[in-house]
């Protein structure tokens, strides 16, 4: 018999193909794990981002919408000494006001008749002092001075100087009281709470609006559970919670100064001076070198301001 030709089986080299397949499978598995891990990380980041953004937006929206903006109407106009560089103003009862005036060699503490603007008692300060904020606690008037940490206490009846004190603020700008403690400002965005017995700072708050410091807090008044603060170089009053320093609202008084300028009073300076008659719920405002003092009543602001417009008006 003729022999059959010998057929050789193709050499598939099984011993070498197995590792290649294993390596490909391992690589595929690795890529899949990395993809899953990256997907999980991305998902977590998205959840965190939108969660924080949502909370932040809600908080900012709540803060923005809870802040109230107020205009005003003039109830009465009274004469005011046009030479008075008003730095502090407080209602003294029986249609009288106490006023602290500034400028070196011209500073004074005075008692003024509300209806006529007549200065009934005037105590000139030492030429080296620039008078600033003033408040009435019991029978004593407390006053601070500019660029110093010196303050003075006066007798209410005759404005006799009783004593000098030192406070812990950086400077002396504004003072107010709720009848128990003193509130002070030093031209920064800080509102100070001060013990009237020791004159030590017991607490302080940084005042902000839309994450901006409300700087240049100036003359202060305590009104119906709030601190009202003139903001220097603006025609705005900030309404502040004395409990935690939250900014509650803004009072926009631009037309007052604009009206005086239009009437030819070119020499006037900025809005400064707030007084409150708590018995009759009357609010009084004036300014430095203003010839008028106004009794005003608030109402919700009619004009809407966007953030840029508002910041130009009330923040410096």
Higher pLDDT, 5 or 142: 142
% of the chain exceeding 70 in pLDDT: 83
For position 41, what pLDDT does the model report?
81
**Can you tell me the mean pLDDT for 136-155?**
98
Q: Tens of pLDDT along 104-138? A: 999 999 999 999 999 999 999 999 999 999 999 99
Q: Between these two residues, 248 and 51, which has the higher pLDDT value? A: 248
Please answer whether residues 211 and 173 qualify as being in contact, where contact means their C-beta atoms are separated by less than 8 angstroms. Answer: no
What are the tens digits of pLDDT across the range 172-203? 999 999 999 999 999 999 999 999 999 999 99
Rounded to an integer, what distance in angstroms lies between the CA atom of residue 163 and that of residue 201?
19
2, pLDDT greater than 80: no
pLDDT band at 35 (very low <50, low <70, confident <90, very high): confident
């Amino acid at each position: 018999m003729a022999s059959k030709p010998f057929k050789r089986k193709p050499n598939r080299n099984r011993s070498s193909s197995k590792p290649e397949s294993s390596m490909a499978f391992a690589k595929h598995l690795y890529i899949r794990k990395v993809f899953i891990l990256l997907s999980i990380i991305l998902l977590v980041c998205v959840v965190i981002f939108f969660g924080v953004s949502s909370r932040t937006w809600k908080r900012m929206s709540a803060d923005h919408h809870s802040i109230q903006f107020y205009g005003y109407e003039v109830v009465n106009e009274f004469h005011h000494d046009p030479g008075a560089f008003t730095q502090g103003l407080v209602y003294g009862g029986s249609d009288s006001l106490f006023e602290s005036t500034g400028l070196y060699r011209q500073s004074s503490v005075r008692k003024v008749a509300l209806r006529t603007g007549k200065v009934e008692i005037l105590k000139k300060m030492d030429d080296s002092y620039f008078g600033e904020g003033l408040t009435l606690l019991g029978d004593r008037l407390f006053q601070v001075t500019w660029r110093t940490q010196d303050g003075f206490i006066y007798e209410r009846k005759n404005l006799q100087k009783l004593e000098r004190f030192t406070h812990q603020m950086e400077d002396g700008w504004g003072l107010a009281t709720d009848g128990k403690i003193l509130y002070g400002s030093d031209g920064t965005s800080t509102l100070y709470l001060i013990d009237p017995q020791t004159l030590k700072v017991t607490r302080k708050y940084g005042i902000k609006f839309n994450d901006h410091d409300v700087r240049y807090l100036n003359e202060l008044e305590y009104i119906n559970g709030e601190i009202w603060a003139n903001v220097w170089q603006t025609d705005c009053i900030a309404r502040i919670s004395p409990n935690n320093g939250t900014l509650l609202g803004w009072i926009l008084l631009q037309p007052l100064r604009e009206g005086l300028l239009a009437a030819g009073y070119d020499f006037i300076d900025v809005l400064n001076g707030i007084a409150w008659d708590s018995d009759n719920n009357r609010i009084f405002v004036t300014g430095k070198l203003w010839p008028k003092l106004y009794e005003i009543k608030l109402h919700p602001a009619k004009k809407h301001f966007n953030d840029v417009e508002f910041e130009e008006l009330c923040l410096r």
